[in-house]
Amino acid sequence: MNRKLLLVEDEEHLRELVRLCLEDLAGWQVITAVSGENCLHILQTSTVETILLDVSMPGMDGITLYEHLQTNPKTQTIPVILLTAKVLPSDRAKFAKMGVNGVISKPIQPLTLVAEIAEIMGWPAPT
């Protein structure tokens, strides 16, 4: 099972910790991007099964990035899961309306994070 995910996260600590979770707990392969621009750049050369996207980022934020991805035929088919600290119901509704595949709120326990991603993607839960 060589699942490959792209994590877009500007916070250095979180980037490191989420990568540890997904690699060491779930056994998935993770590549990371530090910003929206960085993400678009990486996707030019790499293919991934899903994108984990932080919403609040300086520069291009997660929503703008998502809209960018939707305009490109090459990237618009990639499932996107949002990671966000914004948990107001209105935000959730807005995100769902946009067409993202899932929304996961921070802070979150490592095991829960893995389980939620697997559920959204329809992957078997890692043991």
Q: Of these, 41, 111, 119, 125, which contacts another protein (CB under 8 A)? A: 111
Position 86 contacts another protein (CB under 8 A): yes
26, 118 Cβ separation under 8 angstroms: yes
CB of 43 to another protein, least distance (A): 22
Position 68 contacts another protein (CB under 8 A): no
Position 31 contacts another protein (CB under 8 A): no
> Omega into 110 within 30° of 0, i.e. cis?
no
Whose Cβ is closer to another protein: residue 51's or residue 83's?
83
Position 58 contacts another protein (CB under 8 A): yes
103, 62 Cβ separation under 8 angstroms: no
Cα maximum dimension of the chain: 38
55, 14 Cβ separation under 8 angstroms: no
CB of 37 to another protein, least distance (A): 14
Which residue is listed with tokens 């043991």? 127
Alpha-carbon span 43 to 35, nearest angstrom:
12
Position 108 contacts another protein (CB under 8 A): yes
Beta bridge partners of 81: 52, 102
Position 92 contacts another protein (CB under 8 A): no
Position 18 contacts another protein (CB under 8 A): yes
For another protein, the binding residues (CB under 8 A) are 10-14, 16-18, 20-21, 24-25, 56, 58, 85-86, 106-111, 113
